C-alpha cells in the first residue's frame, strides 16, 4: 500500500513542477509576436503628431517613429526603420501602447458610426420626406421642420432636373452642425 502512495505522490509532482515552469515560446510564436509589434509600430507611424501625443512613448521610441514619418515609404530605409521600431517595441512593455491604440481605433469607429447615421438620416429625409422629417424631429427637436422640408423640396427638384446635388450636401452639413452640438 505504501508503494501505491509513493506512486500517487510521484504523479502529483510532475504536474506541480510543470505548472511552476513557463514553457519557452516556439520560434513561430516569437515570429508572430514580432510581426504584430512591427504592425503596431507601422500603425503608430501612420498617426498624426496629435494622436501620437496621447501614447505613452519614451524618447527613443518617439524619435524612431518621427524618423520613420520623414522617410519616403517606397524606399528600403522605411522598411528597415519599421523593423527597428518593432525591435524597440519588443524591448518594452507594450500593454499601455496597445491600449492607447485600441482606444484610438474605438474612437475612430464611433466617429464613423455617427457619420453613417447622419448619412442615413439625410437619405431618409431626401427620399421619404415628411414621415422621415417627423421621425428625426422626435429624436432631435432642436431641428427646424420648415428648413428640413425646404431641403426635401430642393432635393426633389434637383433630382427632377438632373442638377448637381447642392441641397443634398447642404442638408448633410445642416444635420451635422445641429445634431453634433
User: CB burial class (10 A; 0-12, 13-18, 19+) of residue 120?
Assistant: exposed
Digit-coded pLDDT (tens) for 65-113: 999 999 888 888 998 998 999 899 888 888 888 888 888 889 889 989 9
Within 129-144, residue ranges assigned H as helices are 130-139
- CA–CA separation, 25 and 37 (whole Å): 16
Question: Angle 130-139/145-160 helices, nearest 10 degrees?
Answer: 150
- The mean of the pLDDT values for the chain is 84
Place 26 in a pLDDT band, splitting at 50, 70 and 90: confident
| Contact (Cβ atoms closer than 8 angstroms) between residue 89 and residue 40 | yes
Digit-coded pLDDT (tens) for 102-153: 888 898 899 899 899 999 999 999 999 899 999 999 999 999 999 999 999 9
Domains observed in the chain: 24-92 (1.10.60.30), 103-179 (1.10.60.30)
User: Residue 147: its pLDDT value, please?
Assistant: 93
Amino acid at each position: 500500500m505504501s508503494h501505491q502512495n509513493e506512486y500517487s505522490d510521484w504523479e502529483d509532482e510532475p504536474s506541480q513542477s510543470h505548472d511552476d515552469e513557463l514553457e519557452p515560446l516556439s520560434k513561430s510564436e516569437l515570429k508572430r509576436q514580432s510581426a504584430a509589434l512591427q504592425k503596431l509600430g507601422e500603425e503608430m507611424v501612420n498617426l498624426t503628431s496629435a494622436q501620437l501625443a496621447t501614447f505613452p512613448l519614451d524618447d527613443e521610441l518617439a524619435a524612431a517613429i518621427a524618423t520613420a514619418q520623414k522617410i519616403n515609404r517606397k524606399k528600403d530605409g522605411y522598411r528597415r526603420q519599421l523593423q527597428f521600431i518593432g525591435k524597440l517595441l519588443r524591448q518594452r512593455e507594450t500593454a499601455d501602447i496597445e491600449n492607447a491604440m485600441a482606444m484610438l481605433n474605438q474612437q475612430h469607429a464611433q466617429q464613423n458610426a455617427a457619420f453613417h447615421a447622419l448619412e442615413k438620416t439625410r437619405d431618409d429625409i431626401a427620399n421619404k420626406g415628411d414621415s422621415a422629417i417627423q421621425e428625426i424631429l422626435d429624436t432631435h427637436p432642436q431641428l427646424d421642420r420648415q428648413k428640413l422640408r425646404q431641403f426635401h423640396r430642393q432635393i426633389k427638384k434637383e433630382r427632377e432636373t438632373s442638377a448637381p446635388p447642392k441641397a443634398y450636401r447642404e442638408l448633410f452639413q445642416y444635420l451635422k452642425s445641429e445634431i453634433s452640438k
